């Protein structure tokens, strides 16, 4: 069996992630509103729930606006995560797959505890979407030692890029 073809895919602010989180925030607002309307009297609990919802919504919105932009590349043997001109060898792990959007956890090849989470969606580059999905699902037969050697020989792999 052959490896998936090489592909490079842009990573940035995901519209799917924004819509998904927006829907969750709207559900939270609806729940707090219905609870407040059904309460005999508004009290500190409803005020606290509204404050927590508001703070959470603001934090999530700020976090989404600060999304790291970069490039995820598959060269046929290893994955590379490039940000600001620096590139590191990474190990992507598929967490969620919605066919037109995927959530990946990117771990460094050397420091597997360090991780970045990225949403990728088809809208970013529809022409390369299927090639990216094939690469994500491909099984590469590389020994851990060979992968570690590749990671240590990479110019920028000394430091994890977020």
Helix or strand or coil: residue 60?
A: helix
What is the reported pTM? 0.72
Which sequence spans correspond to the domains of the chain? 7-13+68-153, 15-65
pLDDT digits (tens, 9 = 90+) for 13-50: 888 988 989 999 999 999 999 999 998 888 899 999 99
pLDDT digits (tens, 9 = 90+) for 76-123: 889 999 988 888 899 999 999 999 999 999 988 777 676 788 999 999
Architecture in CATH of 7-13+68-153: Roll (2.30)
Helix or strand or coil: residue 70?
A: strand
The alpha carbon of 10 is separated from its chain's Cα centroid by a whole number of angstroms, namely 12
Edge to edge, what strands does the sheet with 70-74 contain? 7-11, 70-74, 79-83, 86-97, 101-108, 115-121
């Amino acid at each position: 069996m052959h490896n998936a073809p090489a592909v490079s895919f842009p990573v940035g602010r995901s519209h799917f992630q924004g819509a998904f989180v927006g829907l969750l925030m709207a559900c939270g607002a609806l729940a707090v509103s219905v609870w407040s309307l059904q309460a005999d009297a508004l009290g500190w609990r409803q005020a606290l729930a509204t404050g927590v919802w508001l703070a959470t919504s603001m934090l999530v919105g700020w976090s989404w606006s600060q999304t790291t932009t970069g490039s995820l590349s598959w060269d046929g043997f290893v994955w590379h995560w490039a940000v600001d001109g620096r590139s590191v060898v990474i190990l992507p792990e598929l967490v969620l797959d919605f066919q037109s959007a995927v959530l990946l956890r990117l771990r460094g090849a050397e420091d597997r505890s360090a991780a970045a989470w990225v949403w990728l969606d088809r809208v970013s580059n529809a022409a390369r979407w299927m090639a990216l999905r094939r690469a994500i699902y491909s099984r590469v037969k590389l020994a851990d030692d060979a992968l570690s050697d590749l990671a240590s020989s990479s110019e920028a792999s000394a430091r994890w890029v977020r």
